[in-house]
Each structure stands twice: as C-alpha cells, then as structure tokens.
C-alpha cells in the first residue's frame, strides 16, 4: 500500500522536518547497499497551487499520470503552443500505457518545435516507445508460436497503417523502392491529424500476419555478445530454423540439452560440423545469419491478412499499393482501405522520376489529408536522391526499424553527405550517437525550467539528507544526483555501506 503523503503538499507536517528544517522525507527504502529516496523541499507552500505546470510535473513524478495528463490538457486547451504542457501530457500518456496516444503526441511536438530541445526529447521518447512496442509484439508472437496474432479491441480511426508498396517488376537488391515510399510517407504524415503506426511495430506485425517469426533483433542480442551464454541463447531464440520456429523452440523442453540441441540444428542448417558446441566458427555463423535475416525485406501481405494486422495494431486506415521501376522512373498505384477492406479514397496512379519521390509522397499525403478534412499544410526538408542512394539509405532504415541500428550505422560509415540529405536517416544516425545520460540531463533541465522553482544546491541538500539518517556525510557528486524539478522533488540513489 502506498503510504506516501500527497506530493502537492510541499510544507512539511509538524514533527517531520529534518534537523536542517528544510527537507521532508517522503519515501525511503533500503535494498542491499543502495539507498533510494525521494525528498520534498519545504518552504514553497504556494507553488503547486499557483503553477499548474509544476502541479502536472509533480503528479507525473508521483506516479499519477491521469491527473498529470488532465492538467496538461487543460493548459493545452488554453494555449496550443504550450510546449511544457504538450511534453508532460505525452509523458503522462506513455506512463499510463497509452502507446499510440503518446506516440502521436510526441510526433506533434517534433513537428511544431523542430530543432528545439523538447522536440529532440520527444523524438527520443517516441523511438524508445516504438522499439518497446515492437519488442512486445515479437514476444507475443514467440509465446504463441504458430497461434494467430492477438487483436486489440480499441481501434483509432486516425491511426494509419502504412504497408510497403509491393514490387510488380524485376527483383531489386535490398529493401526496395516500396519500403522507401513507406518511410517517406511516414515522415510526411508525422504530426498531422493522421498518425502513422510505428514502423518497427508495423514490420513485426506484417511478418507475423504473413505467418513468419518477426524479423527483429531482441534487446538481449543487443545487450549481450555472442560469446556469452545469455547472448548465445538470445540468438538461438531469435533465429528461425527450417520449420519456421526458433532454434530454441525446436530443441524441446529438456533444459539440460536444449542449448546443445539448438546448436546442433543450427550447425546442420548452415553446413557446419554438428558438434553442439559454440565454437568460434559457429559464433561467426550465428552473427552472419542474424544479419542476413534482418536484412530480408518484408514479405507482402495477402489481402485477407491486412484487416487482421490493422486490428492488431489498432489502425482504422491502411495504405495498400504496388510499384514498378522503369529505369530512373517509378510507376506507383495505391489506395486507402478501412477495416473491412473497403476503399475509402479512390486509388491513385502516378509516374515520376525516382529523384522526385519525396515530392510525390508529399502530394499523396496532402491529398489524403484534404479528403479526410484535415490540415493541408505540410513542411519538411527537400531531398533529391537517385535510386541507388535511396536504396542504400532505406536498407539502413530497415535495419534500424528492426532493432539493428548499430548495424545500420556501420553500413553508413563514410556516407555522411548522403545521410545528411534525408532527415529520417539523420535522425537514426544521431539517435545511435546520443548518450542516454545526457538526454536525461536535458530533460531534467527542461523540467526544472518549466517548474520555475528557486535554485538550490543539490550537494548541500543531499548532504543534509544523508546527515538526517546519521550515516555520515560522504562526498557527493552533484552530477550523479538526478534532480526532478527545482520546485521541490529530489530523486536520489546513494551508495551506502
């Protein structure tokens, strides 16, 4: 049971103050050698009541996303340009488990505040949310193996599933123009009334609806190297064998022999000596097989599978189409369908130079928005990429959407000028160079500014807190102290004896 006092009450009750008279202990727990605690600084009794932004942040930090979102939304109703309220509202939606709602809010922020720190934070949050959503879908698919994907009850009318255009011409190397169109259209619709389904989740659901294991690098593969037991098991659990199930699933339930059986099956499938041991040759083969696996373009969906994928992802609208490349020109045909497979916008056919793909995608997005009664104003960088350059960047974007962003970054080494020509590619490259600690620092700085509380010295407050517990006054690095708002909440993790 949560016995914490109301965090909006910033005045310490009688008898609860520390010896300094300036801090109130709200929660504390001792686990092993780590002492985790939250402090409320007293002396600001009117702050939460007078500043709704501070109140929204306090509610969010206290694990109450619903009131935090309500306060943020009330601020937005009064001023749609309030970036503070927009960001706090998006965070609250995320904390409440509203995946699609949070994503769409973050996308709006990215659109209205390009280049600002809040937009960069929104993009980072949105990308993390998309990856977690895709990982969840993959985990569901692996638990059910051959079972049909689950369908969600809630469908958002303006959530759009962008399926890659199907190639009706000669085979292309790599992901192909159809997926380039999807990435470009997703970019064009960002922050509009129509919110695209996250592409990592779209790719996972498309694989699953087509009857295959979703091609995605799981977090355990990204965290653990192949020469560790955890990393080895993660790769054997991710890769499908000839039967379509993962190697660990094929091996059976005998925990004592499961890894050896999985390795034997993998070695036989890949022309290696079947020893059941993870020697260096087998480790290299596992890494190569994993890379080739996520490199494969998504398989097209049968018409009857599209509504199932839409329901699974909660989308009320889907794009379906085809394309043919004829030299340096593309011929595309596409339309928009609802959950019943009915055409809601007449099919469009266009022929254009591949270098003009961005402009054609934007025209398609504008046309759809007008027909749906939405905003007809779209902005964005102008790009002009030849077919080969577009394919190179799309191959990397596919890898990133499947959880292999570091591999994509390696593929793009030495191609900085090319990457800079496409905003989405720049975003991916930047995301994999960002330091998580620095992002957190930026977020805390913004929250502090928004809360508009008095400045205080984190070192002194931590030392007073430690002294309150009577465990000495160790030297504290203020840079290692997470400060959530100078208005009164201090989150601490202190290594103790």
- pLDDT over 80 at 70, yes or no: yes
Q: How far is the C-alpha of 397 from the C-alpha of 374, rounded, in Å?
A: 28
User: How does pLDDT run across 215-247, given as a tens digit for each residue?
Assistant: 999 888 988 999 998 899 899 989 988 878 888
User: How does pLDDT run across 362-399, given as a tens digit for each residue?
Assistant: 888 888 888 776 665 666 666 788 888 999 999 999 99
- pLDDT over 70 at 485, yes or no: no
Q: Which of 252-266, 328-342, 412-426, 445-459 has the lowest mean pLDDT?
A: 445-459
Mean pLDDT of 445-456: 63
pTM, to two decimals: 0.76
Q: Which of 134-143, 229-238, 252-261 has the lowest mean pLDDT?
A: 252-261
Q: 169: which strand partners?
A: none
Q: Which of 22-31, 36-45, 122-131, 162-171 has the lowest mean pLDDT?
A: 22-31
The candidate with the shortest Cα–Cα distance to 161, out of 198, 191, 126, 127, is 198
Q: How high is the pLDDT of residue 113?
A: 87
Mean pLDDT of 66-72: 92
- pLDDT over 60 at 1, yes or no: no
pLDDT-based confidence at residue 462 (cuts at 50, 70, 90): low
Q: How far is the C-alpha of 163 from the C-alpha of 185, rounded, in Å?
A: 10
Q: How high is the pLDDT of residue 146?
A: 41
pLDDT-based confidence at residue 290 (cuts at 50, 70, 90): very high
Mean pLDDT of 105-124: 88
Q: How high is the pLDDT of residue 471?
A: 55
Mean pLDDT of 274-296: 93
The candidate with the shortest Cα–Cα distance to 103, out of 214, 209, 218, 189, is 189
pLDDT-based confidence at residue 254 (cuts at 50, 70, 90): low
Greater confidence (50 vs 276) lies with: 276
Q: How high is the pLDDT of residue 294?
A: 93
pLDDT-based confidence at residue 49 (cuts at 50, 70, 90): very low
Share of residues in the chain with pLDDT > 90 (%): 30
Q: Which of 7-21, 43-57, 105-119, 159-173 has the lowest mean pLDDT?
A: 7-21
Q: How far is the C-alpha of 285 from the C-alpha of 194, rounded, in Å?
A: 43
The candidate with the shortest Cα–Cα distance to 267, out of 255, 256, 258, 275, is 275
Please answer whether residues 130 and 165 qualify as being in contact, where contact means their C-beta atoms are separated by less than 8 angstroms.
no
Q: What is the average pLDDT value for the chain, to the nearest integer?
A: 77
Max distance between CA atoms of the chain, in angstroms, equals 81
Q: Which of 9-18, 181-190, 242-251 has the lowest mean pLDDT?
A: 9-18
Q: Spell 206-215 as b/e; 16+ CB within 10 A means b.
A: bbbbeeebbb
Q: Quote the distance between the C-alpha of residue 365 and its chain's center.
A: 23
Please answer whether residues 56 and 85 qualify as being in contact, where contact means their C-beta atoms are separated by less than 8 angstroms.
yes
Q: How high is the pLDDT of residue 351?
A: 94
Q: How high is the pLDDT of residue 458?
A: 56
- pLDDT over 50 at 125, yes or no: yes
Q: Tell me the DSSP string of 417-460.
A: HHHHTSHHHHHHHHHTT--HHHHHHHHHHHHHHHHTPPP--HHH
Q: 333: which strand partners?
A: 322, 349
Q: How high is the pLDDT of residue 487?
A: 39
- pLDDT over 90 at 199, yes or no: yes
Half-sphere exposure of 429 (CA within 13 A, CB side): 20
Helix axes of 229-238 and 258-269: crossing angle, nearest 10 degrees: 60
Mean pLDDT of 433-460: 65
Greater confidence (128 vs 255) lies with: 128
Angle at 298 between CA 293 and CA 304, to 5 degrees: 135
Q: How far is the C-alpha of 70 from the C-alpha of 451, rounded, in Å?
A: 17
Please answer whether residues 287 and 192 qualify as being in contact, where contact means their C-beta atoms are separated by less than 8 angstroms.
no
Q: How high is the pLDDT of residue 303?
A: 87
Angle at 401 between CA 399 and CA 405, to 5 degrees: 55
User: How does pLDDT run across 96-112, given as a tens digit for each residue?
Assistant: 999 889 999 999 998 88
């Amino acid at each position: 049971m949560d016995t914490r006092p109301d965090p909006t009450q910033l005045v310490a009750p009688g008898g609860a103050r520390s010896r300094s008279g300036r801090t109130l202990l709200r929660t504390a727990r001792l686990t092993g050698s780590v002492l985790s605690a939250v402090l409320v600084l007293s002396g600001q009794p009117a702050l939460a009541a007078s500043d709704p932004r501070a109140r929204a942040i306090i509610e969010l930090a206290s694990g109450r996303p619903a009131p935090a979102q309500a306060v943020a939304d009330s601020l937005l109703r009064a001023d749609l340009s309030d970036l503070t309220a927009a960001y706090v509202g998006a965070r609250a939606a995320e904390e409440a488990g509203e995946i699609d709602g949070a994503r769409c809010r973050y996308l709006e922020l990215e659109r209205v505040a390009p280049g600002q720190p809040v937009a960069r934070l929104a993009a980072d949050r949105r990308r993390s949310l998309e990856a977690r959503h895709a990982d969840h879908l993959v985990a569901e698919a692996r638990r059910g193996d051959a079972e049909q994907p689950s369908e969600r009850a809630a469908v958002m009318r303006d959530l759009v599933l962008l399926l890659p255009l199907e190639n009706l011409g000669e085979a292309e190397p790599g992901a192909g123009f159809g997926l380039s169109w999807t990435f470009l259209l997703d970019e064009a619709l960002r922050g509009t009334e129509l919110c695209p389904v996250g592409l990592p989740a779209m790719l996972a659901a498309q694989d699953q609806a087509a009857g295959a294991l979703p091609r995605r690098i799981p977090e355990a593969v990204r965290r653990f190297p192949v020469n560790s037991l955890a990393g080895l098991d993660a790769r054997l659990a991710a890769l499908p064998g000839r039967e379509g199930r993962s190697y660990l699933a094929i091996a059976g339930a005998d925990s004592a022999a499961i890894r050896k059986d999985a390795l034997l099956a993998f070695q036989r499938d890949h022309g290696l000596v079947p020893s059941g041991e993870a020697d260096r040759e087998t480790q290299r083969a596992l890494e190569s097989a994993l890379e080739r696996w996520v490199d494969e373009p998504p398989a097209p969906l049968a018409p009857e599978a599209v509504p199932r994928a839409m329901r699974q992802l909660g989308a009320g609208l889907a794009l379906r189409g085809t394309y043919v490349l004829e030299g340096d020109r593309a011929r595309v045909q596409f339309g928009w369908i609802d959950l019943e497979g009915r055409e809601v916008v007449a099919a469009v056919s266009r022929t254009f130079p591949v270098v003009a793909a961005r402009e054609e995608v934007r025209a398609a997005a504008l046309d759809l928005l007008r027909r749906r009664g939405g905003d007809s104003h779209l902005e964005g960088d102008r790009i002009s990429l030849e077919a080969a350059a577009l394919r190179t960047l799309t191959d990397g974007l596919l890898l990133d959407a499947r959880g292999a962003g570091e591999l994509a970054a390696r593929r793009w080494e030495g191609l900085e000028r090319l990457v800079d020509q496409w905003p989405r590619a720049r975003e991916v490259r930047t995301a994999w160079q960002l330091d998580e600690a620095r992002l957190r620092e930026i977020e805390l700085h913004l929250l502090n500014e928004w809360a508009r509380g008095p400045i205080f010295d984190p070192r002194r407050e931590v030392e007073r807190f430690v002294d309150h517990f009577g465990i000495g006054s160790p030297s504290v690095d203020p840079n290692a102290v997470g400060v959530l708002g100078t208005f009164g909440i201090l989150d601490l993790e202190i290594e103790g004896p």
